[in-house]
Amino acid sequence: MELLDRQRAFFASHATRGLDFRLGALRRLEEAVLAHEQRLVAALQADFRRSPFETYVTETGLVLGDLRLLRRCLRRWARPERVPGILANWPSSNHILREPYGVSLIVGTWNYPFQLAVSPLAGALAAGNCAVLKLSPEAPATAEAVAAMLGEAFPPEHVAVVQGDRPVLDALLEERFDHIFCTGSPALGREVMARAAAHLTPLTLELGGKCPCIVDADADLPVAARRIAWGKFLNAGQTCVAPDHLWVHRSVLPRLVALLKEAVLALYGPDPRAHPDYPRIINARHVARLQGLLGRGRIVHGGQCVEAERYLAPTLLEDVGLDDPIMQEEIFGPLLPVLPFDTLEEVLIQVNARPKPLALYYFSRDRARQAQVLGHTSSGAACLNDTVAHVANPNLPFGGVGASGMGGYHGRASFEAFSHRRAVFSKPTWIDLPLRYAPYAHKLWLVRRLLG
């Protein structure tokens, strides 16, 4: 592929390794985001009918915050890291260099089509890589806006955008990259991992999962309801870390459901369809998929759908079975199943019986029970008494574990994700102790003491 040949040649020139070059690339990217911000807002409005506020807090604002942190801290993070030596190697010096992998493939996805492509790109540039971005065709207006923005800011031998349907991605995955960063479903992650294995390509996978939310009996219910409703119905539920389903202590379930209804009303009014801040489902295929999930359970709020407008109301469901389809696949839409539990131990068994989620949410004022949840579960991230907000902090790594992904990014974690930690050992020649050289007779006792 000619594009990859050009990027490999540019990387081989060592131009991308210099710190001044990398900082300049990050500055150009930040300037490009600011210059194209209104076009990006319009594009996301076209793809999702998303409000400018929501676009800023979930897309452009997150990327700008990440870029500013990278620019401010890159020189410090990129310094060689000295590590202790061992007595058996005396005298010597030991340090770690962080080096770029080379040419990275970044596979974006459609639900946050700007942020989930450009935020990883910031990490790739900070580490000194060249990058090929494969944008999702399911958000076509945003893909065009991102391609135009990056095309103006960077030459294609440094940063290139590739668009197209699945055959284009398949063709890219046939090529040898030095690193792959992929955001998508667990099914896509498995396929990308299998394809990367052909070239032994290191990769970072940001996948999905059914993120559980647990509300205990002692939770602040009004606050919990507002924060759950906000996190669930942000972007009409099309968020990989949205609360997927809600476990509520049986003693407070009726009260919480009533408060959730009030919270939805406060967020989007009596008719969310007419509210300017309530987005749409990305396309007709996903509308049909979500409607199919409504076949089981009892709708206690919402449920209205206007297919021609890609509108699906914020919806609460009760009487959902654990084997129902809505509890077997990631919902990725504005449907929230509410399930009762009697003991915390019981619900933790249910959580641990499922693949490890990208995020887990627990509402309780009891610190011992908070510690119990953290100590008896595994997830990419965990939030206590809130949902989704952890994503906004670039000082926290964002990533999954197990089926929800491998590796993390944001802030320093982005720089590390696109960097190889190269061990460097240096030994002077002014002394050359004979201990390690044969013959070994009578040396073992000393080696044991030095290495033991």
Q: Are residues 41 and 166 in the same domain?
A: yes
Together in a domain, 172 and 318 = no
Instruction: State whether 260 and 151 are in the same domain.
Output: no
Active-site hit among 206, 330, 383, 416: 206
Q: Tell whether 445 is covered by a domain.
A: no
- Whether 138 sits among the annotated catalytic residues: the reply is no
| Residues 294 and 318 placed together within one structural domain of the fold | yes
pLDDT of residue 447: 84
Spell out the per-residue pLDDT of the chain, length 452, in tens: 799 999 999 999 999 999 999 999 999 999 999 999 999 999 999 999 999 999 999 999 999 999 999 999 999 999 999 999 998 899 999 999 999 999 999 999 999 999 999 999 999 999 999 999 999 999 999 999 999 999 999 999 999 999 999 999 999 999 999 999 999 999 999 999 999 999 999 999 999 889 999 999 999 999 999 999 999 999 999 999 999 999 999 999 999 999 999 999 999 999 999 999 999 999 999 999 999 999 889 999 999 999 999 999 999 999 999 999 999 999 999 999 999 999 999 999 999 999 999 999 999 999 999 999 999 999 999 999 999 999 999 999 999 999 999 999 999 999 999 999 999 999 999 999 888 899 998 888 888 887 77
Range of the domain at 12: 2-207+404-424
**C-alpha distance from residue 20 to each of 78, 105, 126 (Å):** 12, 23, 10
Residues 234 and 328 both lie in one domain: yes
Which is nearest to 70 in space by CA: 17, 119, 10? Answer: 119
Is the same domain home to 408 and 390?
no
The angle subtended at Cα 195 by Cα 191 and Cα 198, nearest 5°, is: 150
Residue 99 phi, psi (nearest 5): -120, 150
Active-site residue, 240 included: yes
**3-state helix vs strand vs coil in the chain, percent to 5:** 50, 20, 35
pTM of the model: 0.95
Cβ atoms of 112 and 59 within 8 Å: the answer is yes
Same domain, 390 and 411: no
| Residue that finishes a domain, picked among 382, 399, 416 | 399
- Catalytic pick from 211, 240, 305, 383? 240
Residues 6 or more apart from 11 whose CB is under 8 A from it? Answer: 100, 102, 103, 129, 130
Indicate whether 327 belongs to any domain.
yes
Q: Is residue 433 part of a domain?
A: no
Query: Is the same domain home to 52 and 152?
Result: yes
Tokens 């044969």 found at: 438
| Residue 115 falls inside a structural domain | yes
- How many domains does the chain divide into? 2
Asked if 203 and 216 sit in the same domain, the reply is no
Whether 45 and 142 map to the same domain: the answer is yes
Same domain, residue pair 165 and 262: no
Contact (Cβ atoms closer than 8 angstroms) between residue 347 and residue 214: yes
